[in-house]
Structure 1
Amino acid sequence: MQEKSLKVLEYEKILERLAGCARSNLVKDQILKLRPFDDINYIREELYETAAMVDVIRKNGNIDLFGLFDLTEIVAYIRKNGILDPGELLKVLDLLRVSEYLKDYGKNIEDRKISDIFSRISINDFLKNEIDRSIINEEEIADSASSTLRNIRRQKQRKEADIRIKLNSYITNSKYDDALQDKVVSVRDGRYVVPVKTNKRALIGGIVHDKSSSGNTLFIEPGAIVELNNQLRDLEIKEEDEIRRILDRLSRLAQGFDVELLENQKLIARIDFLQAKSRFAIENEYSLPIITDEKKVDLKSARHPLLPGRVVPIDVRIGGDYTTLIITGPNTGGKTVSLKTVGLISAMAQTALFIPAYEGSKLCVFDDIFLDIGDTQSIEMSLSTFSASLTNIVDILKNSTENSLVLLDEIGSGTDPVEGAALAISILNSLTQKKVMTFSTTHYSELKYYAVETSGVMNASVEFDVDTLSPTYKLEIGTPGKSNAFEISKRLGLPYEILNNAKNLIGDDTKNINKILAEIEEDKKEIEDKNK
């Protein structure tokens, strides 16, 4: 499907909102790369599993996924006998924890396909418990990781205590008051030292490990504790070796579970993806679309999903007796929004998402969506509105098929009205003959006549309330839009002489069509009143 069409329809914003319902970055990234599918069987299968997951969540509660990382590189590394660091092992632990949680959650799922996803998850309590008791955080290994490590650390603590006692004998001895820059013990290069004035170095013999930026202080390891420091360093090396042995052991345990780790990652990602689509549907009160084999769109109370506030729903029907729908009505009346609603909802359905319309809404699968809407006009090419629009339409006529969806906004505008209307009729006639499903908006009265007289073409309109001088945004199929220019002008106080003169200037055909439309509207209102 064309990227430029998806961009104008703001499809990416739908994906961003859907990604916000995912728990893991792994699946968020996957969602942002989604594009509409054209395989009807795949779309139906995806929608079935999404609907099944909606039922699962409504019955059993939200799935509190956590800790899903991409372990592909980690598994590849341990397969080469690599040793994982604590942070990487914690990612493995998170996957094992969420695997255990999901395995338990899946026990109450009745739907066979959804239950199967959960049941295929593998758990490994031994590996989970070993990592859990061994790793505190990304920087720290627990004493309980091994008895050897615990013993080494106890010896270190005793040795450090011995060193501090020895150094305190320097700090607390008044003999060294004049030699010490400060009565503190610090560490330089892993060795315990005391700060000594440069000119008093001879009073405290030992090894110089550092000096201050001013050069007035030397950090000296007194000779009396050199051997103690050496012993401490030996213990530190033993500690590092033991930690490496522990990490190696845990890595080898993970290596023995490598296939299951990758399979779990895939299954959990699938669960996260389905629960994201389900939450997206539930939170927005969207419904399951019916994907039909017929060439038909039948949307019941459809709403544009990105419009804020209260949105007036529209009913849209096309297919069967007609494949071209011509929408007329006032500016800001909702004509362009109607086009975008149909386009965006079609893209959502083909992405196997629930849609903002009532249950029972039907859509067919399009091989592509082509559009010419104001947003797509190419300023960069320095084309006029008409030229840019025509460039798009030439591409549409060339590449669209009878399985495509075409959305045309204000077709033929931007040039001489007579020529523009003639071109618009000719273009729509070509698309109608090819049986391309086409939605077009226009202000041209000639297109209303064309829709009435041409097989396969239907009029539609967006309502306008002349009493409030505002659009109702309601889409009416089968009725062309009636011009309200004179009525609006009258209500806004245009002098009677000017208004009457304007009425006399319009042709008989226009007068007749306006009279017919007025009669249709009166008949419709009378029927609605009787129904009430």
Structure 2
Amino acid sequence: MKVRKEVWNLLEIDKILSIFAKSLRSDLGLSVLTAITPCETIDTLRNRQNLLIAYRDYVDRYGDFPWNQNVSSVAEEIHAARKTALLTGQELVAVRMLLLLATRIKDVLNQVKDEFAPFAGVLKKIRDFKYEIESLAVLDEDGNLFDSATPTLLRIRKSEEAVRQSIRLRAQALFANSRINNMLQERLLTFRQNRFTVLVRQEFASRFPGTFIDRSGSGNSVYMEPRSLAELNSRLVLLIQDEEEEKRRILSELTQMILGREKAIVDAEGVLGQIDILYALTDVMGKYGWTLPELSKKPFFVFYDLLHPLLGEKGIPLTIECGRSFHVLVVTGPNTGGKTVALKTVGMGIILAWCGFPLPAKEGTVVGNLDNVFADIGDEQSIEQNLSTFSAHLKNIIHILSEATRSSLVLLDELGAGTDPQEGAALGIALIDTLREKKSITLATTHHNPIKSYALTTPHVETASMEFNVETLAPTYHLLMGIPGRSNAIYIAERYGMPSEVLQKARATLKEQEISMEEVIADLHERKALLNHEWEKMEEQRQKADLLSKEYSEKMKALEEQREKIIAKAEQQAATVLASAEEESRRMIRDLDEAARSVVQRNLHGKRENIREKRKELEQKEEKRFIKKMKDEKRNLEIGDAVSIAGTSITGTILALKGNKAEVQAGAARMDVPLISLTPTSKKVRDALPESPAMSATKPQGVPLSLMIRGMTVDEAMPLVEQYLDRAMRAGYLSVEIIHGRGEGILRREVHQFCAHLSYVESYRLGGPGEGGHGVTIVTFKK
């Protein structure tokens, strides 16, 4: 998208950007913000949006990116160093600080690049600065070189310190001389003009054995270099000169190193500025509830409750669209009713969206593929060219007509103003019709009735108006789509007490077609008021219906849960009675002699079968109830979700979805598990995975006394059985239960064959009375 600077300024975009500037943390972000321009293509815009979305997702999960409040821009200093060939110590420290922060951010991006794909482009712009950072480590935080910066600098500074020590020793001897001491203003050495001096009283200056260096501020004493310190001072001056030359040489080398990486450093600075911008955008979205618009490849826009941020709390939300079913929207309404603000709000929203920024609008807002924003708003009279207001508008409109395409947004304020009303209206209609034929997305405001009539009768042209309250005689600033605005001049005059005869003459003067037009508009306003009233009643009824529906659903759910609990309790009691009866019959049979026992067993055989059938029926009902509960509670599972397997303590991660089954990774094992047997878990899989015996001898925690594999296939069940028996054995259990169900006995045989080959299994058998019978295998471990 292209936007001329005149349009940018006309829509006050810089003032709106200042809202984001308040949330920036450095001049790096401010530099990027002030240079921001709309994206050139819809794909570039989508990438910019995706980067902001990825940044917000990262912050939500891991917190803010690394940052340093003291970081600042160094691009201008580096550019200036092309001429001076020298950066100061403080400037080099600023470069080091920037490179350190860029490296920290690069490390973060490297860690999450697979998780946040949009960061890839940012990551590429941050090069490796390890060598530069290490080289700049010779500077302290104030930009001073450490003694160890080079061996030469270390040797010079050691020599300087030795000379200074010698000077101090000679000064002590000088101060011990009573004759000399009487001449001194104070017994202190002072460093003056790169030489150590003493402060001598003015009256003794001619007799003091030394050289005049400077006069004190009061003029009552002079700074003099004692003769005994002259040679040492001269040596010190030479050493200081050597130090300055060495420091300059070091800084020059560091500067050349930085100049060699100028582009890479400027790119890194740009990335940091971009990160700061993302921080500010996220902050504004959080503080004010701004949203990112949806994007479309078609040229149109739909704004829901769009606010102009410069209006503050006084702003009225604007819901407006153009470009889908119509290409031209003509907005009418009273002066100061908000027509111009509506145009500017739309222009602001489009430009801000194409910069990749959030908007002060509701979710669902859509911005399409537009290539330019043109605007003719307000008085653009050119004093230099001595053009009238009307001529200035014409010049701008001619430019718009020559440049606008079917993907352009055109904003025209007060069509036909500034000239004869009839000619102005005719010119306005011709202009709108030309833009309609081009299919340009056009918003225009007007007062002229002929233009209103044209908008009402022309295809692909829609009308709207700024609402006016006839009771308070004030605009409400609400936009009414589909309804042209009526003229309120005569009505307002009547309300203010204009004589009736004047009003009658005014009405008589109006042309018949204009009166008819006003009647149509008045009728539309009345119809809209009626529709609004009916809509409010319907909305109130809908809310009541939703509330009743919700209450009914909650009550039905509670009743169903209560019913299920009662049935489950009854079936559990029935199962208990059956088990007790069966156990009692076995006990009574054991007490009989052999002959009687045989007769009784034959007679009870049929009854036992009936009991087994009843128990099986109860088990099936319980299983169906369990499955229904799982379905009611289950959410949609997705690849990567952490899940637990029903009837076990095993958790894993879904690798793939295969119809009504899922491939689950549980520790080292992979298995296909029915979706109905999986439930989401918040427990981290790595914490819940069973440990391998080869890795740890620690007893696993929370191993259940039984494993439910009923309803699974052999391929699904056996990995769970292997894993479960190993964990149970290491947990120190004497025996456990494998619940495989009766069925055809396939799972039972597989479990028995597997147990037969396990070295740590002492024995295995089918369950006895009260243990689940043939539907359960009891496995006993070796002691």
Query: Which residue pairs with 1:454 in the alignment?
Result: 458
Query: Which residue pairs with 1:91 in the alignment?
Result: 94
8 A Cα contact 1:22 1:272, kept in partner: yes
- DSSP-derived class of the 2:310 partner: coil
Shift in alpha-carbon separation, 1:450–1:77, aligned structure 2, 3 A: closer
Alpha-carbon offset, residue 312 of structure 1: 0.6
- DSSP-derived class of the 1:419 partner: helix
Shift in alpha-carbon separation, 1:258–1:308, aligned structure 2, 3 A: closer
Per-residue deviation, residues 150-184 of structure 1 (Å, max 9, x unmatched): 78767755654553454355557553466445655
Pairing 1:416–2:420 present: yes
5 Å matches for 1:324-363?
324-363=328-367
Query: Which residue pairs with 1:204 in the alignment?
Result: 208
TM-score (norm 1): 0.85
Q: Distance in 1 between matches of 2:76 and 2:191?
A: 41
8 A Cα contact 1:23 1:65, kept in partner: no
Alpha-carbon offset, residue 214 of structure 1: 9.1
8 A Cα contact 1:160 1:232, kept in partner: yes
Of residues 393, 397, 422 in structure 2, which corresponds to 1:393? 397
What amino acid is aligned across from residue 302 of structure 2 in structure 1?
A: D
Q: Distance in 1 between matches of 2:367 and 2:262?
A: 43
Aligned length: 529
Of residues 10, 13, 32 in structure 2, which corresponds to 1:8? 10
8 A Cα contact 1:26 1:70, kept in partner: no
Pairing 1:32–2:40 present: no
8 A Cα contact 2:463 2:484, kept in partner: yes
**Which structure carries more relative contact order (alpha carbon 8 Å, separation 6+)?**
1
Per-residue deviation, residues 418-448 of structure 1 (Å, max 9, x unmatched): 2221221122222222222211111111111
What amino acid is aligned across from residue 444 of structure 1 in structure 2?
A: H
Q: Distance in 2 between matches of 1:124 and 1:397?
A: 52
- DSSP-derived class of the 1:13 partner: helix
Q: Distance in 2 between matches of 1:459 and 1:134?
A: 68
Per-residue deviation, residues 475-504 of structure 1 (Å, max 9, x unmatched): 111100022223323333334444344334
Q: Using the TM superposition, name which of 253-262 and 345-354 deviates more.
A: 253-262
What amino acid is aligned across from residue 525 of structure 2 in structure 1?
A: E
- DSSP-derived class of the 2:313 partner: coil
Shift in alpha-carbon separation, 1:56–1:467, aligned structure 2, 3 A: farther
Shift in alpha-carbon separation, 1:163–1:312, aligned structure 2, 3 A: same
Alpha-carbon offset, residue 295 of structure 1: 2.5
Q: Distance in 1 between matches of 2:121 and 2:428?
A: 54
Alpha-carbon offset, residue 459 of structure 1: 1.1
- DSSP-derived class of the 1:185 partner: strand
Q: Using the TM superposition, name which of 476-485 and 333-342 deviates more.
A: 476-485
Pairing 1:286–2:271 present: no
Q: Distance in 2 between matches of 1:491 and 1:24?
A: 57
Per-residue deviation, residues 54-99 of structure 1 (Å, max 9, x unmatched): 3333443344533253369759979x9x776422331233124313
Q: Distance in 2 between matches of 1:260 and 1:18?
A: 27
- DSSP-derived class of the 1:141 partner: coil
Query: Which residue pairs with 1:509 in the alignment?
Result: 513
Q: Using the TM superposition, name which of 205-214 and 318-327 deviates more.
A: 205-214
Q: Distance in 1 between matches of 2:86 and 2:381?
A: 56
8 A Cα contact 1:350 1:365, kept in partner: no
Q: Distance in 2 between matches of 1:384 and 1:35?
A: 32
Give structure 1 stretches of 5+ with no counterpart.
none
Shift in alpha-carbon separation, 1:30–1:169, aligned structure 2, 3 A: same
Alpha-carbon offset, residue 25 of structure 1: 2.7
8 A Cα contact 2:380 2:389, kept in partner: no
Q: Distance in 1 between matches of 2:218 and 2:355?
A: 68
8 A Cα contact 1:20 1:28, kept in partner: no
Shift in alpha-carbon separation, 1:71–1:413, aligned structure 2, 3 A: closer
Q: Using the TM superposition, name which of 411-420 and 333-342 deviates more.
A: 411-420
Alpha-carbon offset, residue 451 of structure 1: 0.9
- DSSP-derived class of the 1:494 partner: coil
Q: Distance in 2 between matches of 1:127 and 1:409?
A: 57
5 Å matches for 1:22-61?
22-61=24-63
Shift in alpha-carbon separation, 1:305–1:217, aligned structure 2, 3 A: same
Query: Which residue pairs with 1:102 in the alignment?
Result: 105
Q: Distance in 1 between matches of 2:263 and 2:15?
A: 36
Shift in alpha-carbon separation, 1:70–1:491, aligned structure 2, 3 A: same
What amino acid is aligned across from residue 303 of structure 1 in structure 2?
A: L
What amino acid is aligned across from residue 421 of structure 2 in structure 1?
A: P
Q: Distance in 1 between matches of 2:141 and 2:40?
A: 49
5 Å matches for 1:185-196?
185-196=189-200
Query: Which residue pairs with 1:319 in the alignment?
Result: 323
5 Å matches for 1:262-277?
264-277=268-281
Shift in alpha-carbon separation, 1:129–1:361, aligned structure 2, 3 A: same
The root-mean-square deviation of aligned C-alpha atoms, in Å, is 3.7
Of residues 140, 143, 158 in structure 2, which corresponds to 1:135? 140
Q: Using the TM superposition, name which of 282-291 and 98-107 deviates more.
A: 98-107
Q: Distance in 2 between matches of 1:115 and 1:389?
A: 47
Q: Using the TM superposition, name which of 31-40 and 476-485 deviates more.
A: 31-40
5 Å matches for 1:126-205?
128=133, 131=136, 134-138=139-143, 140-142=144-146, 159-160=163-164, 162-164=166-168, 166-167=170-171, 170=174, 174-176=178-180, 179-180=183-184, 184-197=188-201, 200-205=204-209
Q: Distance in 1 between matches of 2:502 and 2:495?
A: 14
Q: Distance in 1 between matches of 2:327 and 2:263?
A: 52
Q: Distance in 2 between matches of 1:508 and 1:76?
A: 74
Q: Using the TM superposition, name which of 120-129 and 348-357 deviates more.
A: 120-129
Q: Using the TM superposition, name which of 455-464 and 87-96 deviates more.
A: 87-96
Q: Distance in 2 between matches of 1:263 and 1:413?
A: 50
Per-residue deviation, residues 266-306 of structure 1 (Å, max 9, x unmatched): 54344334434444444443222223222322111111232
Shift in alpha-carbon separation, 1:276–1:183, aligned structure 2, 3 A: same
Percent sequence identity is 34
Per-residue deviation, residues 82-122 of structure 1 (Å, max 9, x unmatched): 77642233123312431354245444673222267459856
8 A Cα contact 2:490 2:503, kept in partner: yes
Alpha-carbon offset, residue 384 of structure 1: 2.6
Q: Distance in 2 between matches of 1:470 and 1:358?
A: 27
Shift in alpha-carbon separation, 1:220–1:261, aligned structure 2, 3 A: same
